[in-house]
Amino acid sequence: MTLTNEAIAVLKDVSTATITTILLKKGLRNIWLRGAMPLKPGQPRLVGPAFTLRFVPAREDLATPASWGSPISTRAAIEAMPEGCLVVADAMGVTDAGIFGDILCARMAKRNVAGLITDGVLRDVAGVTRTGLPVWSRGFAAPPSVAGVTFVGWQETIGCGGVAVIPGDVIVADDDGAVVIPKALLDDVLAEGPEQERMEAWIVEEVENGASLPGLYPMNAETKARYDASK
């Protein structure tokens, strides 16, 4: 299914926690990008198609400041990013070299990129924050990217945070991190996500009213009947 504006609106009301539960029932356990956590709490939940970037270990003849002007560079990749995409960067979990700084993040924000997600780190934290670009990462480090990694390409299958990400996969990111929805399972998440959120909100209300958990979470037949009646 195509990621329409309507689908994005639905997913913005479905948490990453709910998505992981739905996909677990479909047999997918490895969809949460390890280490990619929000730069600051309370960033809006983001939904978008994955635009992938790939880094490999630094090699001295390739990872140089001169490489920033290469046709295969992070600068060139940014100019290829479509509006509304979520950039997913495979930095191999490297935490001592920032793959992006304030200038590159400012350009992404100017191009209306929805956000940046990486299992690595960024640099220029104050400047990145001022750009307004939502970021999920392992944190920040002062050294530039070429001190630890080499950029090698974009829009190819990557591994980010131990998860396979294919260009065009649907990404949802919130305070619990970022998850991948394979395109083939998007229909299922759209169909089941809102109902799962409604059901869990009802369960929370029951708990706040003093209900005990056995038979409530998960629901037994009697509780399910009460829930169905409440709808």
**Binding site, residues?**
101-104, 123-124
Q: How many whole angstroms from its chain centre is CA 104?
A: 19
Residues 6 or more apart from 19 whose CB is under 8 A from it? 31, 172, 179, 181, 189, 193
* Structural tokens at position 126: 């104050």
Reading the block at residue 75, the tokens are: 């600068």
Residues at the annotated binding site for Mg(2+)? Answer: 124
Instruction: Say which residues have a Cβ less than 8 Å from residue 191's Cβ, sequence separation at least 6.
Output: none
Residues at the binding site for substrate are 101-104, 123
Token code pair at residue 212: 């005990």
